[in-house]
Structure 1
């Protein structure tokens, strides 16, 4: 029995993103994101109900400022007290895990998908997705881009505007494009 494109995506295999089931999931995410982005602020509900229902898991006291965007939402897991400033985008074709007390500055972008390098296969929508993990107590500066398959260790800091192309060790500060560690 052949796998669906969603099953291939979830297994970390090459899949076609131009697929009716995946389109339905992206549409559900767009609806939840739209509701989140157009709701009145409610201090008693730090994580909006639409996003709370969409995400795979979430801890207590998470706050996501508007506007926010995600591709599927179902692959996002938040720890406790996660904060995302305005303009964050998570293209969660693979699992995205964000640890406790991690803060994302404005306009942080997390990408999981990598399109095929062969132009004909790319034109057919073939891509593969790699997970992204942010540990606990991580600080991601404004405008950071985090590329597919990277992990950022507990307590690390990523300076504003950095492009994270490879793993960042716990407790390390990285800056630049590509992101490189600052001397300790």
Structure 2
């Protein structure tokens, strides 16, 4: 199983930062940059970019720029999703967002983590675990959700 396949599994894993597929990250960074350059009036363009970026993007997904993510293909919205300004999703594992979810400004959903042990961290050991947000959830401003939730 290659690294991308492992990242799409709905289970946690350990990795070395040298194993992470940077080419896929380049695509996500470019699409996020394009998204963040759109006018508030370009609703169709925003929706098109999210469809290209996310693994699964419900048509009722609305995100206020600025938005950033690691890969995009691991983000799945399953109904009305409203994400306010300055959201970061570190999607090194799958992130599922249930319908009727509202996410406040400055929120970070972080599947990715680093080893707690300093020697492992210096050696590039990382961790990742999926995040699932259920239906009818509201996350207030500046919330951080860590992998495994």
| Greater percentage in helix | 2
Paired position in structure 2 for 1:161: none
Paired position in structure 1 for 2:64: 65
Shift of 1:136: 1.0
Structure 2 CA distance for partners of 1:58 and 1:9, relative to 1, 3 Å: closer
Structure 2 CA distance for partners of 1:8 and 1:79, relative to 1, 3 Å: closer
Shift of 1:98: 0.4
Work out whether residues 18 and 125 of structure 1, in 8 Å CA contact, stay in contact via their aligned partners in 2.
yes
Which has more radius of gyration? 1
Structure 2 CA distance for partners of 1:62 and 1:46, relative to 1, 3 Å: farther
Aligned length: 147
Paired position in structure 1 for 2:13: 13
Shift of 1:113: 1.4
Equivalents in 2 of 1:133, 1:73: separation in Å?
Answer: 15
Paired position in structure 2 for 1:78: 77
The secondary structure found in structure 2 opposite 1:48 is helix
- The structure showing larger relative contact order (alpha-carbon pairs under 8 Å, at least 6 residues apart) is 2
The C-alpha deviation readout for 1:55-83, integer Å capped at 9, x for no partner, is: 11011221000001111111000022100
Work out whether residues 50 and 57 of structure 2, in 8 Å CA contact, stay in contact via their aligned partners in 1.
no
Structure 2 CA distance for partners of 1:9 and 1:119, relative to 1, 3 Å: farther
TM-score w.r.t. structure 1 length? Answer: 0.73
Shift of 1:117: 2.3
Shift of 1:116: 1.6
The secondary structure found in structure 2 opposite 1:45 is helix
- In structure 1, runs of 5+ residues without a counterpart are 151-184
The C-alpha deviation readout for 1:37-66, integer Å capped at 9, x for no partner, is: 001223652843222111110112210000
The secondary structure found in structure 2 opposite 1:97 is strand
Paired position in structure 2 for 1:4: 2
The secondary structure found in structure 1 opposite 2:119 is helix
Work out whether residues 84 and 104 of structure 1, in 8 Å CA contact, stay in contact via their aligned partners in 2.
yes
Work out whether residues 29 and 73 of structure 1, in 8 Å CA contact, stay in contact via their aligned partners in 2.
yes
Moved beyond 6 Å, runs of 4+: none
- In structure 2, runs of 5+ residues without a counterpart are none
Paired position in structure 1 for 2:106: 107
